Structure 1
Amino acid sequence: MHFAYFSLMTLTWTTKPFNALTLPELYAVLQLRSEVFVVEQTCAFQDMDGQDQTAHHLLGHSESGELAAYSRLFGAGVVYPEASIGRVVVNLKFRRYGLGRELLRQSIAAVAELFGEQPIQIGAQLYLKEFYESFGFQQHGEGYLEDGIPHIHMVRL
């Protein structure tokens, strides 16, 4: 029964540059990223890396207004020579209902809308390789460790 509710859940998607984020939105973003990337993945790293200011932020809010999904988007030449998507995260309360797939669909569409159709590069956690491949990303180069977690570069042409 829960699956039916969540599978029909509609998120409200917004894309904003850093300076347009409200303080509550920024707090929710940083809280979600910390909950997942630092606490859940037990990885001590500097999440606030100075790149948020140059990113566009994709926020997916639930009907109750809670931040359910998030990613940050960059134009070509900011992080990689290609446009890029990073900090892709779904709130634990909203997982297992396809929101990760919807988040990535929304992220790819937002990159195209903001920067035009173009290649997108990501630094993906290795265990998510097949997930990203299902969206047309292909491994580019050798794997590497980032903050103790195996990663690979992937590009979607």
Structure 2
Amino acid sequence: MTRIDNLPENLTANWLRFDQLSNHDVHDLLRLRQNIFILEQNSLYADIDGKDPEALHLMIRNRHTGELVGAIRLFADLKNGEARIGRVVIAQEGRGGGLGRLMMEAGIDEARRQVPGCRIHVSAQAYLENFYGSLGFETVSEVFIEDGIPHIDMIRSG
């Protein structure tokens, strides 16, 4: 069990390698990402991109119902001293209470644990630029369209 400061008591958090995910975990993860990224945001793209097996996954579940309410995927590159956080997703019922900030702080902490002093990259939806900026990320690109949605590249220096 991963400790995340200020995580509400009704939630659990686990960092898991892909080979540690149960069949149920994989199903829930893909369903949550499909529901939010593809259906809710009306963005048709290939979420199953072959990269999940290489990533570390933060899984946030409701302690009482077992429902997956949030997830992050993290790539740590020790050789190059960099990390990438992506596929940050929160179920509708988990939004508005600061869970996104807690998840991103956990992602930053885990990236630094995996690769001390690393630069952390995110490809952020453009409307979230101020949110990521408040976490120390700086914009390093112009707005571009990815999967039909405006994005920007941002980096947080070690």
**C-alpha separation between the residues in 1 aligned to 2:77 and 2:8?**
34
Q: Is the 8 A contact 2:62 2:69 kept in 1?
A: yes
Which ranges in structure 2 are unaligned for 5 or more consecutive residues? 1-6
- Assess, with a 3 A threshold, how the Cα gap between structure 1 residues 150 and 109 changes in structure 2: closer, same or farther: same
**C-alpha separation between the residues in 2 aligned to 1:26 and 1:85?**
18
SS at match of 1:26: helix
Name the structure 2 match of 1:67: 68
Name the structure 1 match of 2:132: 132
**C-alpha separation between the residues in 2 aligned to 1:118 and 1:81?**
5
**C-alpha separation between the residues in 1 aligned to 2:117 and 2:11?**
24
Report the TM-score, using the length of structure 1 for normalisation: 0.89
CA shift for structure 1 position 107: 1.1
Q: Which has the higher helix share?
A: 1
**C-alpha separation between the residues in 1 aligned to 2:96 and 2:40?**
16
* Alignment map for 1:3-82 (pairs within 5 Å): 8-64=8-64, 65-76=66-77, 82=82
CA shift for structure 1 position 10: 4.3
Give the % identical residues. 37
Q: Is the 8 A contact 2:74 2:111 kept in 1?
A: yes
| Alignment coverage as a number of residue pairs | 150
* Alignment map for 1:115-130 (pairs within 5 Å): 115-130=115-130
Q: For each residue in 1:65-96, what CA deviation from the matched residue of structure 2 results, as whole angstroms up to 9, or x when unmatched?
A: 21111000001289x98310000011111111
Name the structure 1 match of 2:142: 142
Which ranges in structure 1 are unaligned for 5 or more consecutive residues? 1-6
What is the identity, as a one-letter code, of the residue corresponding to 1:70?
A
Report the TM-score, using the length of structure 2 for normalisation: 0.88
CA shift for structure 1 position 141: 2.2
What is the identity, as a one-letter code, of the residue corresponding to 1:18?
F
Q: For each residue in 1:11-41, what CA deviation from the matched residue of structure 2 results, as whole angstroms up to 9, or x when unmatched?
A: 2111111111000011110000000000000
**C-alpha separation between the residues in 2 aligned to 1:143 and 1:28?**
31
